[in-house]
Amino acid sequence: MYNTVLTLHSLFRWLVLASLLIAIIRSYTGWLTSLAFTKQDNRLRHITATIAHIQLVLGLWLYVISPVIDYFLHHYKEAVHMRQIRFFGMEHSLMMLIAIILITIGSSAAKRKTNDKAKFKTIAIWFTIAMVVILINIPWPFSPMVARPWLRLGGI
């Protein structure tokens, strides 16, 4: 079970990043060239937020079953000084939670805006900040101390 959820969470990162990137490019284009906010734009906003929410569920699920987090929670005093364990127990989980909250706020604020330019602008700003937070807090293969693979395929 743990390996399956870890693999899904690892793969789902690419969907999170791809949907955010497409939504960000589209929203800057719409904002800066004054396009009409179409049904497809609204669908893209909704799908991007939904993918982020699925990743949140996978992350919370991992938090409950991961042996890394289990160690962190039960040996807090030592674990808080161990870079890799603290990263997943605190930094990664908290910062990703914040990023997903930013996506949720941006998505629902855009929905409530009444003109098209404001909808694009709201998505562009909130999603860009969330994207930066996510990129910084992913354990990339080149991340010092907390490196994880580009693709994890073994668990499913």
Closer by beta carbon to ligand HEM, 31 or else 103 = 103
Distance of CA 154 to the CA centre of its chain: 22
Rounded Cα–Cα distance for residues 68 and 87 (Å)? 10
3 state SS of 150: coil
Rounded Cα–Cα distance for residues 91 and 14 (Å)? 20
The CB-of-16 to ligand HEM minimum distance in angstroms stands at 5
The CB-of-87 to ligand HEM minimum distance in angstroms stands at 9
Rounded Cα–Cα distance for residues 77 and 56 (Å)? 27
The CB-of-141 to ligand HEM minimum distance in angstroms stands at 10
Give me the residues that bind ligand HEM (CB under 6 A), please: 6, 9-10, 13, 16, 52, 55-56, 59-60, 62-63, 66, 68-69, 88, 92-93, 96-97, 99, 134, 138-139, 148-149, 152
